[in-house]
Every structure is written in structure tokens, then in C-alpha cells.
Amino acid sequence: MKIAAVIFDVFGTVISIEDRRNPHLQLLRLGRQQGRWPRPGDVQMIMTHELGWQELARYVDIRVSHEQLQHLAEELEAELSSLQVYSDAAPAIALLQSAGVKVGLCSNLASGYGQAVRALLPSLDAYAFSYEVGAMKPDPLIYYTACCEMRVAPKEQLWGGRVVMIGDSIRCDRDEARAAGLAGFHLSRAGRGEFSNLIEFARAVLEG
């Protein structure tokens, strides 16, 4: 069956964070120190809004000083500076693109990460990031947004081919992607998924 497009998850799949600082969790910890305990909707709000640190702190009702805001910004910058493309990601993407397969990214990202990801992996056909879409995986909307940007349909054979997704989350990148109509696969670099590296995956896609 013809493959029209491939969608990759970002962190843990095509890009690694070598110096993880978790600045958004640091913000929530500041809230705990003020008696503002984490709420069920905190992660959803952080991941689906494009906000600067001061706006974000106001949204989640956490008081932050100028120094604390500066520290959070520096922690995020440290993470962004440590981003590395996995050694198998660029060759896998090149294999797919050289065969005429469209390639996109679909990921749950907080505001601030998207620009760095685009800079590391430019010239792709779609970038569906939760803070821009306003929806997180496994909401079908984020998968459909990636498909729409690539002008393909998640249901097979509607617009000329199947859409395949791969990532390191069994739930979001395999099971719920399949529920949304994509062919989802689990990447485990430890060998516990359908694929353990992306070049192997890309070759399997091209072989049909």
C-alpha cells in the first residue's frame, strides 16, 4: 500500500534533550511553595497556550519575581541549547523525502520549544505542535492538523495513500494515532517496540 506521509513525534523520537531542566515544572513547584497545589488542568493549559513566562504565571495564579522569571527563561534556554537530533533521524527523514514521502512532526510542546525544533529540522511538510494547535495528543485534532498541513488524509486511500506515525509513546503515537486513522508504531530505542531505530522504520515504510 502506498505511503503518502510519515509523522514523527519530537522528543524521544527525533530530538533528545541532553540537559533537561524542566522549567515549567519548576514554575509549578514555585506555586506549591505558595500553597498553590498542582491542578488537573495545569499540563493541558501549559501545553496548549502560546504564552511568555509572566503571562503563564498569571494564568496559573503563581506569583513570580523578576529574578524568578529570569531564572525560568535561562533554564529554558539551557534546555534548548542542549537539543540534539538523534543520529538516525536526519538520514531516515532524507530517505523518506527522497522517495517523495511527505514528512511532518506532531508533538505535545510547551510554548518556547517550537522555534528551536523547526531550526533543527527545517523544510518539513508539517509542524503540528500542541501549543499552536490548542490541543494535545491524544486529541485527534492534533493528528488531523498535521495531516491537513501535508494535504493528506488520515484514513487510508482517501487522498492517495496511507499516513504513518511513529513515536516513543505507546498510547499517543501508536494506539491513539491508530484510533484516529493513522498507522501508528511505537519506537523503543531499548528494543521494546515495533522499531528500535528510525532508519529501520523508514526502510520498512518504503518497502511497503
Side chain identity at residue 11, one-letter code: F
Strand, helix or coil at 169?
A: coil
Distance CA 55, CA 51 (A): 6
Domain spans, the chain: 3-16+84-207, 23-81
Confidence of residue 3 (pLDDT cuts 50, 70, 90): confident
Q: Is residue 78 within 8 Å of residue 14, measured between CB atoms?
A: no
Encode pLDDT of 175-200 as tens digits.
999 999 999 999 999 999 999 999 99
Percent with pLDDT over 70 in the chain: 97
| pLDDT value for 1 | 59
Q: Is residue 38 within 8 Å of residue 62, measured between CB atoms?
A: no
166: phi then psi, degrees, rounded to nearest 5 = -140, 145
Q: What is the DSSP string of 13-41?
A: TTEEESS---HHHHHHHHHHHTT----TT
State the architecture of 3-16+84-207 in CATH terms. Answer: 3-Layer(aba) Sandwich (3.40)
Q: Would you say how long the chain is, in residues?
A: 208
Inter-CA distances, 62 with 34, 42, 197, Å: 8, 12, 41
Q: Rounded to the nearest 5 degrees, what angle is found at the Cα of 122, between the Cα atoms of 119 and 123?
A: 160
Q: Quick one: average pLDDT of 143-161?
A: 77
Helix (H) or strand (E) segment spanning residue 94: helix 89-98
| pLDDT value for 2 | 80
Question: Which of 138-142, 156-160, 188-192 has the weakest average pLDDT?
Answer: 156-160
All three cell numbers of 190, joined, read: 531499548
Residue 159 scores a pLDDT above 80: no
| pLDDT value for 161 | 57
Inter-CA distances, 165 with 30, 102, 136, 148, Å: 36, 12, 15, 14
Confidence of residue 153 (pLDDT cuts 50, 70, 90): confident
- Which ranges of 99-192 does DSSP label H, i.e. alpha helix? 114-120, 130-133, 140-150, 176-179
Encode pLDDT of 33-81 as tens digits.
999 999 999 999 999 999 999 999 999 999 999 999 999 999 999 999 9
Residue 29 scores a pLDDT above 70: yes
Side chain identity at residue 167, one-letter code: G
| pLDDT value for 156 | 57
| pLDDT value for 47 | 97
